[in-house]
A = this chain, B = another copy of it.
Amino acid sequence: MPMPLADLVVLDLTHVLAGPFASMTFSDMGAKVIKVERPGSGDDTRAFPPFKDGKSAYFAAINHGKSSIALDLKADGDRAVFERLLSRADVLLENYRPGVMDRLGYGWDSLHAEHPHLIYGSVSGFGHTGPDAKRPAYDMVVQARGGVMSITGEDGREPVRVGASIGDIVAGMYLAQGVLAALFDRTRTGRGRRIDVSMLDSQLAILEHAVAITSVTGKAPGPTGARHPSIAPFETFHACDGLFVIAAGNDALFEKLCVALNLPLADDPRFATNPARCENVRLLKRLIEAVTLDHTRAHWIARLTAAGIPTGPIQSVDEVMKDPQILSRNMVVDVLDRNGRQAYKAAGNPIKMSDAEDRTSRAPAPDLDGNRGEILRWLDGACGGR
């Protein structure tokens, strides 16, 4: 069977991270993604470090396998090309500041009237409605305003940012979900829909227990370092050579843990239930570490794994990229250069699907305007396509 999104055409006006992350998902599942960039400099991330052979590995990590055409959407000739592309597209993605596409004459209302089948996906800092719709945002702004920083970090110290740009990424993932749902829906209605995803909204959507706690108690939780706020033991512990994680999520696992550590705590009323363990979590940590400090991380991870207890190392990103489980799942792929050589490593596609090829490499990220000729020929019908 072909890839699940084969033959689908995505016209991608997005730049930086949230939108391009969404269109990467489409590309990874077989869609044809045409990246429309502004002439001159193109996507801002073309200038983001790190570089290899003068090209941004950051840009490549998110834009591999897409094609690029540079179009000035204020110039008549380029607008004509863009409009021909629109008539061939299933999906339009954009992440301009709200209002920009309308001023260009390419807002939802006009495009929906002209191309009723087109699915129109927007992602922006605060969404296309509400008092702050037109404010600019970056990942850091929505991580801060959206609450995730307030629950991340050490208790009593300043909040920290999540090291990955989840302000952008989660919004890009919601955009992809909305567009995919609209694609399914279109097979029944024949009509496209408009999807409007906000980075700020998307942060609230993943706050999970923090929203439930705040709703019921009226009090917002704070950060708890490396510890889960309401399960114990569920945190990092020191072995003699560094930190590792034990996640004993229920009483049965705690009993197994006590056996594996030879710690007679399972019947101790201070530790017999999860609420009691949470009450006495600092003492519990000291008692466990009095044992774990005697051996290495590797020793404890092997021993606890054999006992069926969720455990594992804290890996740096280079270690993750060599992790045998990660490699066995084809989660580190090669991004090729023009000559078909391996240029960079990038994350693979985490959506493993039956009868869909899980490629071990990716076509190069496009040069700015690097596919203009090919795209124009495709529009002329000389290359087949949709």
**A148 CB within 8 Å of chain B:** yes
Which of A72-80, A130-138, A259-267, A374-382 contacts its partner?
Answer: A130-138
Q: Is the CB of B208 within 8 A of A17?
A: yes
Q: Is the CB of B135 within 8 A of A57?
A: no
A126 with B325, Cβ < 8 A, contacts A4-B182, A193-B355 known = yes
Q: Is the CB of A351 within 8 A of B57?
A: no
A173 CA / B170 CA spacing, docked (Å):
9
Contacts of A50 in B (CB 8 A): 212-213, 216-217
Chain A 88-111, CB within 8 Å of chain B: the 1/0 string?
000000000000000000001000
A206 CA / B170 CA spacing, docked (Å):
9
Contacts of A159 in B (CB 8 A): 226, 236, 243, 314
Q: Is the CB of A137 within 8 A of B310?
A: yes
Minimum distance in angstroms from A376 CB to a CB of chain B? 28
For A25, the closest partner residue in chain B by CB is B177
Minimum distance in angstroms from A38 CB to a CB of chain B? 14
Q: Is the CB of B201 within 8 A of A329?
A: yes
A137 CA / B245 CA spacing, docked (Å):
11
Out of B62, B206, B351, name the residue touching A195 (CB < 8 Å).
Answer: B351
Contacts of A224 in B (CB 8 A): 161, 163
**A154 CB within 8 Å of chain B:** yes
Q: Is the CB of A141 within 8 A of B319?
A: no
For A321, the closest partner residue in chain B by CB is B214
A185 with B108, Cβ < 8 A, contacts A219-B318, A226-B160, A353-B195 known = no
Contacts of A197 in B (CB 8 A): 350-352
Out of B194, B209, B354, name the residue touching A354 (CB < 8 Å).
Answer: B194
Contacts of A136 in B (CB 8 A): 308-310
A317 with B226, Cβ < 8 A, contacts A141-B245, A145-B312, A310-B141 known = no
**A42 CB within 8 Å of chain B:** no
For A168, the closest partner residue in chain B by CB is B208
A205 with B331, Cβ < 8 A, contacts A29-B181, A216-B52 known = yes
Q: Is the CB of B193 within 8 A of A324?
A: no
**A371 CB within 8 Å of chain B:** no
Chain A 146-178, CB within 8 Å of chain B: the 1/0 string?
111111111001111111111001110110111
Minimum distance in angstroms from A204 CB to a CB of chain B? 5
Q: Is the CB of A205 within 8 A of B235?
A: no
13 contacts between A and B (CB under 8 A): A61-B208, A125-B310, A131-B325, A140-B310, A141-B245, A141-B247, A147-B320, A152-B162, A164-B209, A180-B183, A195-B353, A212-B344, A212-B346
